[in-house]
Chains A and B, each alone.
Chain A
């Protein structure tokens, strides 16, 4: 038993720095995608609630395309198909392809959350703001959006967990994030395949679990008001 522990500890000791650089890369990519995706999603979500049929059709098409196809397919489309169109700006390296596809994927979730949160604010709020002499834009930005923002926090946290977990898929296009680093470690130590995958799972758990706990804590604070 002691010997087994010592052997495993040697594996952990020699691989951990390598895996931690992978975790750092996972962290960076997921944070960039979460920030870009949330900003894009917030803008699209607010635009979706406006009374514009063309905008709504455009945004709904985007939502259905990105929520109706697996992330793996989206990644392949952005990494392999777009460069073959022959437009220089679309010839991404693997890192930008990863960040762009993940941001668009995040934004598709955030758009739906923001739109339903804006809808969940009682219409009396906007009417009251309009009757105080605010313009439509003022009513939206000073009255409706601040109230909607609170409602978005719990579902946003769950989406961020989905995004963090999706970064594992990026290993297939050779981004050296946690999963990829793990696969490389397994090439070095093929005898400990299961142990290394367990280690990777533990690292992902350490990153995602606090976010999940935050999501359920926020849900208990905000309550499930119409979302």
Chain B
């Protein structure tokens, strides 16, 4: 067994198992909160982007372009240093990180949802209006469910990106999976075990997401095949 310990000291990793477990839970938890928030706001930004009023869609378009053309790291710094100046020290690091990641992910979700909404036939709207639904009802009961079902795989792809993006929050001292790896490295000073374990945990999450998205696509593929 000693040859294996020379290459990869799994005993030290074993000592940090609970730290990594906490890290995985934190990463999944942060991602889940950001996912829900960014889907919720994403629908609104998508609708704003499609608005006929110039001011409204221009604001949405400017927001989308600004986020897409600047690095996430800079956005995190802007929120981390800027938010306390605007509203005071109201949020802790994790909450600040969640806000930054939500602001970053929302435009991507909005663009995906917008493609979904645009792909729904106009007859659906007409049909809904013919049975007396209001515009909001049409959107909520008829268009959005079909639109989101159509773009579910790009949305899941963006969720994987979101999961990976949480690693950058370690730079503003949020504890998540990358933070767990950094903590182990700072305490033990062995790079190999610390970072390979981190990478392995991310890969496990990624593979789980692959399985989930395969399952979802099979489920929805039947209902969506025209």
Please give the residue numbers on chain A whose beta carbons come within 8 Å of chain B beta carbons, in ascending order: 64-65, 67-74, 76-77, 80-81, 84-85, 161, 165-169, 171-172, 179, 193-194, 197-198, 200-201, 204-205, 208-209, 212
- Cβ contact within 8 Å between B202 and A204: no
Of B36-44, B137-145, B192-200, B214-222, the one contacting chain A is B192-200
A201 in contact with B70 given A80-B195, A84-B191, A194-B82 (CB within 8 Å): yes
- Cβ contact within 8 Å between A70 and B192: no
Q: Output the least CB separation between B205 and chain A (Å).
A: 8
- Cβ contact within 8 Å between A168 and B68: no
B73: CB under 8 A from chain A?
yes
Cross-chain pair count, CB within 8 angstroms: 107
- Cβ contact within 8 Å between A73 and B72: no
Q: Output the least CB separation between A93 and chain B (Å).
A: 16
- Cβ contact within 8 Å between A65 and B69: no
- Cβ contact within 8 Å between B66 and A205: yes
Tell which of B66, B77, B196, B207 touches A68, judged by Cβ atoms closer than 8 Å.
Answer: B207
| A197–B68 alpha-carbon span in the complex (Å) | 16
- Could you name 14 residue pairs across A and B whose Cβ atoms are closer than 8 Å? A65-B199, A68-B203, A70-B165, A72-B167, A73-B195, A76-B198, A81-B191, A81-B192, A166-B71, A194-B82, A201-B74, A204-B74, A208-B70, A209-B69
Residues of chain B lying within 8 A (CB to CB) of residue A201: 66, 70, 74-75, 78
Q: Which residues B81-137 have CB closer than 8 A to chain A?
A: 81-82, 85
Beyond A73-B195, A208-B70, list 14 extra A-B contacts (CB 8 Å): A68-B206, A68-B207, A70-B167, A73-B181, A73-B202, A77-B196, A80-B185, A81-B196, A165-B71, A168-B73, A172-B171, A198-B78, A204-B71, A212-B68
B178: CB under 8 A from chain A?
yes
State the interface size on chain B (CB cutoff 8 A): 38
Please give the residue numbers on chain B whose beta carbons come within 8 Å of chain A beta carbons, in ascending order: 65-66, 68-75, 77-78, 81-82, 85, 160, 164-168, 170-171, 178, 181, 185, 191-192, 195-196, 198-199, 202-203, 205-207, 210
| A81–B195 alpha-carbon span in the complex (Å) | 7
Tell which of B65, B68, B178, B191 touches A80, judged by Cβ atoms closer than 8 Å.
Answer: B191
Judged by DSSP, the binding face of B is helix
Tell which of B69, B165, B192, B196 touches A208, judged by Cβ atoms closer than 8 Å.
Answer: B69
Residues of chain B lying within 8 A (CB to CB) of residue A71: 164
| A38–B210 alpha-carbon span in the complex (Å) | 25
Judged by DSSP, the binding face of A is helix
Q: Output the least CB separation between A62 and chain B (Å).
A: 12
- Cβ contact within 8 Å between A84 and B165: no
| A89–B102 alpha-carbon span in the complex (Å) | 41
A72 in contact with B178 given A81-B192, A81-B196 (CB within 8 Å): yes
A161 in contact with B71 given A65-B203, A193-B81, A194-B81 (CB within 8 Å): no
Residues of chain B lying within 8 A (CB to CB) of residue A72: 167-168, 170, 178
Residues of chain B lying within 8 A (CB to CB) of residue A208: 68-70
Q: Output the least CB separation between B6 and chain A (Å).
A: 11
| A204–B210 alpha-carbon span in the complex (Å) | 32
| A72–B81 alpha-carbon span in the complex (Å) | 21
Residues of chain B lying within 8 A (CB to CB) of residue A64: 203, 206-207, 210
Question: Which of B74, B164, B178: most chain A CB closer than 10 A?
Answer: B74
- Cβ contact within 8 Å between B195 and A76: yes
| A138–B164 alpha-carbon span in the complex (Å) | 40
Residues of chain B lying within 8 A (CB to CB) of residue A84: 191-192
| A72–B177 alpha-carbon span in the complex (Å) | 12
- Cβ contact within 8 Å between B69 and A69: no
Q: Output the least CB separation between B25 and chain A (Å).
A: 17
Q: Output the least CB separation between A98 and chain B (Å).
A: 14
| A127–B78 alpha-carbon span in the complex (Å) | 55
| A194–B78 alpha-carbon span in the complex (Å) | 6
| A165–B166 alpha-carbon span in the complex (Å) | 15
Residues of chain A lying within 8 A (CB to CB) of residue B71: 165-169, 179, 204
| A201–B205 alpha-carbon span in the complex (Å) | 31
A205 in contact with B69 given A69-B164, A69-B199, A77-B199 (CB within 8 Å): yes
